[in-house]
């Protein structure tokens, strides 16, 4: 039996360009395929990967919605006789950044940024990033490709960047969500 987890709170969030390659493509049912601890370690060490410097208060949230089911009744008895599931449920991480620079704002909301100015984009452009959250009990929750929706929200008399990251099916053969013990990442050798 493996190590038990509770996925308590969050102590770090990282982001970067959506992961575009893995050594062993994901095969459903094979836990040795897909994103490896070594590949996550390489992503975290990449100079293009950024760490969120501030998460406002207790507004971090992780949610994996339950699968939706349709039930079909037997017309003669009025009882359910079968069910089907075609929606596995959406997985989301939400958080707000309470203190940030304009580059961080542009990373999540789009637009253009410099050290002294942020300008909103003239039209919405979808953003896909890899999002990695490290829980307080040392488990990485990884969305290799996450749809990002972000905007400003007033929280405790300040304007925070409110972010919703929804796990998407990656463009390569890779899991849409991965959870990896930090100890496995720390002890992995770089690929």
Please choose, from the candidates 118, 141, 4, the residue with its C-alpha nearest in 3D space to the C-alpha of residue 60. Answer: 141
What mean pLDDT do residues 33-56 have? Answer: 95
Whether the per-residue pLDDT at 1 is higher than 80: the answer is: no
Pairing of the two strands 158-167 and 139-155: antiparallel
| Tally of CA atoms within 13 A in the half-sphere of 10 that contains its CB | 24
**Residue reference for tokens 């359910």:** 80
Whether the per-residue pLDDT at 191 is higher than 70: the answer is: no
Beta bridge partners of 16: 130
Rounded to whole angstroms, the Cα distance separating 5 from 3 reads: 7
Domain boundaries, the chain: 12-187
Q: Model confidence over 120-151: pLDDT tens digits?
A: 999 989 999 999 999 999 999 999 999 999 99
pLDDT band at 15 (very low <50, low <70, confident <90, very high): very high
Whether the per-residue pLDDT at 88 is higher than 90: the answer is: no
**23: which DSSP letter?**
S
């Amino acid at each position: 039996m493996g190590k038990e987890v509770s996925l308590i709170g969050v102590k770090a969030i990282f982001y970067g360009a959506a992961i575009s390659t893995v050594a062993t493509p994901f095969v459903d049912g094979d836990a040795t395929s897909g994103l490896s601890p070594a590949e996550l370690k390489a992503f975290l060490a990449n100079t293009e990967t950024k760490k969120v410097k501030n998460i406002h208060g207790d507004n971090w949230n992780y949610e994996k919605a339950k699968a939706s089911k349709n039930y079909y009744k037997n017309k003669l008895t009025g009882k359910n006789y079968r069910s089907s599931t075609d929606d596995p449920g959406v997985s989301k991480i939400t958080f707000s950044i309470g203190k940030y620079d304009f580059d961080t704002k542009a990373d999540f909301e789009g637009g253009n940024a410099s050290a002294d100015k942020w300008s909103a984009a003239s039209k919405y452009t979808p953003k896909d990033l890899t999002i990695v959250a490290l829980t307080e009990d040392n488990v990485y929750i990884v969305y290799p490709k996450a749809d990002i929706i972000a905007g400003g929200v007033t929280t405790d008399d300040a304007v925070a960047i409110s972010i919703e990251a929804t796990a998407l099916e990656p463009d390569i053969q890779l899991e849409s969500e991965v959870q990896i013990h930090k100890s496995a990442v720390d002890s992995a050798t770089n690929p």
